Amino acid sequence: MLGTLLDKVSGRTDQRFLGTLLFPSFILLTGIGSLVVTQIGWAHTLTWWSALDGSRRVLLVAAAVTATFLIVLLLAVRLRTLVRFFEGQWPEPLATLGRKRQERRRARTTDFEKRYYLFPTESLMPTRLGNVLRAAEDYPHSNDRYGMDSAFFWPRLYSVLPDSFRAS
């Protein structure tokens, strides 16, 4: 019965969900748990764990797995908001401070190739991730290249690419 349940759960989770949300969240929550146990004390925690009977241990592990999945599902629902936050789509006073910081970073960067890949040609974003993504959008959008909006065309082109190209 447990094997059938695991087959159903694993069949419903695609590879991107596991790689981008579940595994990193599991690592983060394991790290947080380790910090909490270190604060409490490993000897005390092991003594407490040893005092529990088997059914309570199973319930605790099931609760931890369930909590991890719930946290991951909440992240999945708010993923677009999180990406926008890390891109630097912030309220204006905070965004201005971030852009000034990125302007100082760009002024210190003397290597042309780094500057080309790390900073957009026109408007800076408040975060490093936002600048890299904007620079990637600027490349096909420039009149010297293709003059196309990559955010619009790339998802449509991706679906018709050969599998060998997608894999690389």
pLDDT at position 24? 86
Indicate the pLDDT class of residue 148, thresholds 50, 70 and 90.
confident
The total of other beta-carbon atoms located within 10 Å of residue 22's CB is 19
- Encoded tokens for 151: 């955010």
Looking at residue 120, what is its pLDDT?
86
Considering 15-29, 123-137, 149-163, the range whose residues carry the highest mean pLDDT is 123-137
What are the sequence ranges of the domains in the chain? 2-77, 92-167
Rg (CA), the chain: 23
pLDDT band at 149 (very low <50, low <70, confident <90, very high): confident
pLDDT band at 36 (very low <50, low <70, confident <90, very high): very high
How confident is the model over 104-125, as a mean pLDDT? Answer: 87
**Lookup: tokens for 125:** 């974003």
